């Protein structure tokens, strides 16, 4: 994989993780400050979606590097 592709992979991966971290931080804040099960459920869904997206990003690059 060339340097440009690696940079893009890191960028795209970090963007997903960025969202994961901020949503997880928000969950922590909500758990300690106020109990809102629906809101926490919704945020956990965002985290799961972002983790799946991150996995897709890695898979796409794996396939790209094989071609």
Binding residues for other proteins (CB under 8 A): 7, 10-15, 17-23, 25-26, 29, 33, 43, 46, 49-50
CB of 52 to other proteins, least distance (A): 12
- Compute the chain's Rg from CA coordinates: 15
CB of 19 to other proteins, least distance (A): 4
Select 37 or 66, whichever has its Cβ closest to other proteins. Answer: 37
Measured from the CB atom, the residue of 21 and 62 that comes closer to other proteins is 21
Dist CA 52 CA 42 (whole Å)? 16
**37 to 7, 19, 41, 45: CA distances (angstroms):** 38, 20, 6, 12
């Amino acid at each position: 994989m060339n340097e440009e592709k690696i940079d893009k992979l890191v960028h795209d991966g970090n963007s997903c993780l960025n969202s994961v971290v901020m949503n997880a931080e928000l969950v922590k804040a909500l758990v300690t400050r106020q109990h809102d099960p629906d809101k926490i459920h919704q945020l956990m869904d965002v985290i799961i979606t972002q983790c799946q997206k991150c996995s897709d990003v890695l898979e796409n690059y794996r396939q790209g590097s094989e071609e």
